[in-house]
Structure 1
Amino acid sequence: MKNSYFKLPFSFLEEELVNDFKICLENKFTDHFNSSDYEGVWSSISLRSPSGSISDIKAHSNNNFIDTKLLDACSYFKEIIGQFKCEKESIRILNLEPNSKIKEHRDLNLGYEDGVFRIHIPIITNNEVLFFINNKLVKMAVGSCWYGNFNLPHRVENNGATQRVHLVMDCIRNNWSDTLFEKIGYDFSFEKKEPIYDIKTKRKMIEALKLQDNEAAKELITTLQREIATTLKNK
């Protein structure tokens, strides 16, 4: 499928990435709230969150996102974030431990066509990490930078002996990002095709959103429930 994922023209220094990650390790990571979506250990800490707390790892909120005190301590992460000339929402460090996996799922409104796009920058990884987007294996090296359309099915396995740690940013689309995406080959004409989710997928999305317990999630749940009801009525 077009626009499933792209490597972005950024490259970051492994030593500097790891140094800032070590600063993060001085704080407690929070287990991911959606425990049904993974096996093993998947945890996170926030550099930017709805409340400004490092333990607030929600990615959706009606509130404005706030830099945490931890971001102030991580000068290289701050430098990286500044290279993206757009507004940001959630910014987190996500850690998938060895012998752990994130089950296949879809996220809601996380494609470039939705106006919010998610960026992954590997800090620590290994050759036994398998990251699939739309059933395509995406090999992400440390220090590289990737966009993925996470409306599509995706899953991750860490079958190696080391952690799989990524810096993950949710960014707001603007003219700067449109120019960037045009350069990497993003097909803007494809946006005219609305993504279609079946009822089963929408129900899974609703269950995941219920765990977030905030107003934005509740609004999305209402929308999805209404769409399901309409689909069933028209059958």
Structure 2
Amino acid sequence: MICFSKLNLNIDVHLLQHELNDLLTGNNWMPHYNTADYTGNWHVLPLRTPGGNSDNPFADLFNHKNFENTALLNKLPETCRFLEKLDCEKLSVRLLNLRAGSVIKAHRDIELSFEHGEARLHVPIFTNPGVEFYVDEERIMMNEGDCWYINANIKHRVANNGIADRIHLVIDCKVNDWLTKLITEGRKKTVFLKKDPETSQQVIESLRMANTTHSIHLADQMEKELNNNQLIAKLLDFISEIGLQYQLEKINEDTFLPGLKLRDGVLIVDTEKLLYPGDILHEAGHLACMPAEIRMDMSDSLPNNDLNNGGEMMAIAWSYAASVHLDIDPHIVFHDKGYKGGGQSLVDNFTQGHFFGVPLLQWNGMTYPSGQEGSLSFPQMKNWTCKQNMYINHKAEK
């Protein structure tokens, strides 16, 4: 699921600002109709509505299909030119003014999302550094002239803590191939969409109670899928929590680990092709064990050199430590289809205290020195990501 995405559009915001500036003090603005969702002043200026009715502040995406420009929009040539460049069907178009000191409370616009075939785009026309726009509890820094898709189907909220009004051009669109390309190729946040485990578990229990050959088989399949989804979600949540980035995308080419690849320091995950969820930790380990300035350039395939050979050793030790931290069976990471058949040997060595790759993690400042008293020793970690560039320091010493 895509939470938000910054679209790569070239917008001359100064032309739009100049054209819309005269509207700021006009009397055509009307209070937003969802009065329970905000405090302060949040006003709407409709530009494209069902039937072109200028008095209709509603986006009203469900009940009307004949969206038309209002008389006001037809008098705004620069705004019209910009909208015409959006090569998709436009539904509602509005200017939304969140006055200084006003707050839009956390809310959802049901099924208004890319995944449901409709996309809401925000173009900041006038804004200020005091505006805080959160989607899925992550702040988005929207600058004047940007164009952002937001998934309005998940909770989002805005506070204008500045001293000036915040005015966005908000466009609701039908998703097509052109818009799909822009959204999926933009700078975005994705999350793994988990099925409701409680509901799934209830269905599984009902199937087992039916106690037929078919129902038991179906329950087994559902339980396997549920466990797999929960494991993937747990691993992806962990790598996000420690500051690594991932994106959920379709991977068309063959990759060394099915369903996974690295691109510019981001872990790309195709859950449909992912055969072994534990591989997520191994690939994340490659990213985690490198300092940020090296990590940001890491993409498939990693060159065969001393740096990456050492990184492979650290990634193995790191992923074992992560499996212990997350309380998952290390065989999920070191499965029999990986590590040239040596997964069991690695697990045996780690559980017996023969720590492969750990000296490099110690050198990197990520785990504790050998001989540390108490529990402060591997697989306990000091840092889950590399905080210092020892590689530059090491070269300088040489």
TM-score range, shorter chain: 0.7 to 0.9
Residues 119-163 of structure 1, C-alpha deviations (whole Å, 9 max, x = no match): 000000001000000000001000011001111111000011100
How big is the shift at 1:22?
A: 2.4
Q: Distance between the aligned counterparts of 2:135 and 2:43, measured in 1?
A: 20
Q: Is the 8 A contact 1:23 1:73 kept in 2?
A: no
Q: Is the 8 A contact 2:3 2:188 kept in 1?
A: no
C-alpha distance 195-170 of structure 1, shift in aligned 2 (>3 A): farther
- Partner of 1:104: helix, strand, or coil? strand
- Matched residue type, 1:5: F
Query: Does residue 89 of structure 2 align to residue 54 of structure 1?
Result: no
- Matched residue type, 1:84: L
Q: Distance between the aligned counterparts of 2:148 and 2:182, measured in 1?
A: 12
Residues 61-118 of structure 1, C-alpha deviations (whole Å, 9 max, x = no match): 4221111011111111111111111111100000000010100111111110010100
Q: Distance between the aligned counterparts of 1:195 and 1:93, measured in 2?
A: 36
How big is the shift at 1:40?
A: 0.4
Residue 136 of structure 2, aligned match among 134, 137, 162: 134
Structure 1 match to 2:29: 29
- Matched residue type, 2:106: E
How big is the shift at 1:52?
A: 1.1
Instruction: Among all aligned residue pairs of Structure 1 and Structure 2, give the percentage whose two residues are the same amino acid.
Output: 36
Q: Is the 8 A contact 1:43 1:96 kept in 2?
A: yes
- Partner of 2:145: helix, strand, or coil? coil
Q: Distance between the aligned counterparts of 1:96 and 1:179, measured in 2?
A: 30
Q: Distance between the aligned counterparts of 1:121 and 1:18, measured in 2?
A: 11
C-alpha distance 118-166 of structure 1, shift in aligned 2 (>3 A): same
How big is the shift at 1:179?
A: 2.4
Query: Does residue 56 of structure 2 align to residue 84 of structure 1?
Result: no
Structure 2 match to 1:93: 95
How big is the shift at 1:170?
A: 0.1
Q: Is the 8 A contact 1:49 1:91 kept in 2?
A: yes
C-alpha distance 187-30 of structure 1, shift in aligned 2 (>3 A): closer
Structure 2 match to 1:115: 117
Q: Distance between the aligned counterparts of 1:87 and 1:176, measured in 2?
A: 11
Q: Distance between the aligned counterparts of 1:186 and 1:125, measured in 2?
A: 21
Structure 2 match to 1:14: 13
* More displaced 10-residue stretch of structure 1: 80-89 or 175-184: 175-184
Structure number with greater Rg is 2
- Matched residue type, 2:186: I
Query: Does residue 160 of structure 2 align to residue 161 of structure 1?
Result: no
- Matched residue type, 1:118: R
- Matched residue type, 1:56: N
Q: Distance between the aligned counterparts of 2:27 and 2:82, measured in 1?
A: 21
How big is the shift at 1:187?
A: 9.2
Aligned pairs for 1:173-184 (under 5 A) are: 173-184=175-186
How many equivalent residue pairs?
A: 194
Q: Distance between the aligned counterparts of 2:152 and 2:136, measured in 1?
A: 9
Structure 1 match to 2:205: none
C-alpha distance 160-195 of structure 1, shift in aligned 2 (>3 A): farther
Q: Where does the alignment leave 5 or more consecutive residues of structure 2 unmatched?
A: 197-398
C-alpha distance 185-29 of structure 1, shift in aligned 2 (>3 A): closer
- Matched residue type, 1:75: P
- Partner of 2:53: helix, strand, or coil? coil
Structure 2 match to 1:218: none
Structure 2 match to 1:3: 2
Q: With structure 2 as the length reference, what TM-score do the two structures score?
A: 0.46
- Partner of 2:157: helix, strand, or coil? strand
Where is the strand percentage greater, Structure 1 or Structure 2?
1
